[in-house]
Structure 1
Amino acid sequence: MKQTEIFVVEYKLHGHSKSFVIRTKKMRNEDAWHWASCDAGLAPIPKPGKPPLKVMSRPQAERFGVTDVKWRETAALEWMDG
């Protein structure tokens, strides 16, 4: 079965819960912290197909108020006929 390549990232910014959905080929904890920083407006969003200019690390993100970053893959839908 093919991976969905769609992930949900949840985090807190200054104690307020936030979440977003992102489509990407891979997701690791390091990636989730960087994307949460992008969503929070702390890091620039990279252009499609190009690496980010600077990846925001967990310690850097925490200094700006990003905490409790969690991610999960979305469930793949299986359509049934009939």
Structure 2
Amino acid sequence: MSIKQSAASATRSVKPLSLYELRYYIDSQEVTVLVSCDIMDEDRAWHWAACHAGVGLLLRSEKEVTMLANRQNALRYGIENVKWRKC
């Protein structure tokens, strides 16, 4: 297998990333951030808001789902009203 063939097969197995707009409030100030990821849901939106605010852990892989910052922990640090939409 040549280098071109292996590179082409590697790109086919990667999930396409989508761009999401994430809005949340921290200390009564609205924050907007763009997040590029393959999937977004309510739990992941809260996790990304916590990461952006500096209180969440960045994951190395999707297998570390247990490390996601949850809504309850984010609320403790003043993060609230997290909304997201696909761009």
Q: TM-score, normalised by structure 1?
A: 0.77
Greater RCO, CA 8 A, separation 6+ = 1
CA RMSD of aligned residues (A): 2.0
**Structure with the larger helix share:** 2
1:29 maps to which residue?
42
Structure 2: runs of 5 or more not aligned: 1-15
Q: TM-score, normalised by structure 2?
A: 0.72
Q: How much identity, in percent, do the aligned residues show? A: 26
Structure 1: runs of 5 or more not aligned: 75-82
8 Å contact 1:12–1:69 — kept in the other structure?
yes
CA–CA distance in structure 2, aligned partners of residues 32 and 51 of structure 1: 16
2:31 maps to which residue?
18
Largest Rg, 1 or 2: 2
2:76 maps to which residue?
63
